[in-house]
């Protein structure tokens, strides 16, 4: 059982936080528009809405907007252990605050500059990313492949 997830579900169902729900729905629209069929394929909108609300609630969410408030990119992550697989996404398992790894997931950006800003914001919001194991999943030839990154990936992104 995941109490934080349940509280997000209740908040979304009660629809009392209209401004927050409107923002979450903007993020959902951005995800659907920019998703390439490899990450959220087959996910209904209400599940994507829950995913975004959940990451906002657990403070593992970053977003970049332009001066008009249009979303240009976003990122979400999980605190976990290096031997975990991505099943914690499907199972809505709570983060492990003492975990030795960060699973970087659901990164979308519409420009290289936006991706750089997301990267800087990620490092600022989650400085432990520079010391922990970094994990991800890449889709290659239709299969999910686990990838381990070094913090050097951030330096590479920021010098593009």
Confidence of residue 57 (pLDDT cuts 50, 70, 90): very high
Coil vs helix vs strand at 88: helix
Q: In the prediction, which pLDDT does 83 show?
A: 92
Closest by CA position to 23, among listed 59, 63, 60, 80: 63
Nearest-angstrom CA–CA distance, 77 and 99 = 13
Res 151: pLDDT: 84
Helices and strands, counts by H and E, the chain: 6, 5
Query: For residue 131, what pLDDT is reported?
Result: 92
User: What's the confidence (pLDDT) of residue 1?
Assistant: 67
Question: What percent of the chain is modeled with pLDDT above 70?
Answer: 96
pLDDT at 40 over 80: no
pLDDT tens-digit series, residues 138-154: 777 777 788 899 888 88
Which pair of tokens denotes residue 21?
């729900």
pLDDT bracket for residue 38 (50, 70, 90):
low
Residue 57 CA neighbour count, 13 Å, CB half: 20
Confidence band (pLDDT; 50, 70, 90) for 37? Answer: low
Mean pLDDT score of the chain: 88
Residues whose CB falls within 8 Å of the CB of residue 1, separated by 6 or more in sequence, listed in order: none
C-alpha pair distances (Å), 110 with each of 57, 116, 144, 146, 159: 24, 11, 23, 24, 18
Cα–Cα distance for residue pair 126/110, rounded to 1 Å: 22
In which order are the strands placed within the sheet that holds 101-109? 61-65, 71-80, 101-109, 133-140, 143-149
Question: Per-residue confidence at 4, pLDDT binned at 50, 70, 90?
Answer: confident
User: pLDDT tens digits for 66-109?
Assistant: 889 899 999 999 999 999 888 888 888 999 999 999 999 888 88
CA within 13 Å, CB half, 157: 20
Of residues 85 and 124, more confidently modeled: 124
């Amino acid at each position: 059982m995941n109490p934080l997830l349940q509280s997000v579900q209740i908040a979304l169902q009660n629809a009392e936080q209209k401004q927050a729900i409107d923002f979450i729905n903007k993020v959902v629209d951005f995800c659907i528009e920019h998703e390439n069929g490899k990450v959220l394929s087959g996910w209904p909108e209400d599940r994507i809405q829950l995913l975004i609300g959940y990451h906002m609630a657990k403070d593992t969410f970053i977003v970049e907007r332009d001066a008009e408030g249009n979303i240009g990119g976003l990122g979400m992550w999980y605190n976990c252990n290096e031997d975990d697989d991505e099943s914690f996404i499907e199972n809505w398992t709570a983060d492990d605050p003492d975990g030795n790894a960060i699973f970087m997931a659901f990164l979308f950006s519409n420009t290289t500059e936006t991706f750089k800003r997301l990267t800087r914001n990620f490092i600022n919001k989650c400085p432990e990313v520079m010391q922990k194991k970094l994990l991800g999943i890449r889709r290659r030839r239709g299969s999910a492949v686990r990838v381990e990154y070094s913090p050097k990936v951030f330096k590479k992104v920021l010098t593009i």
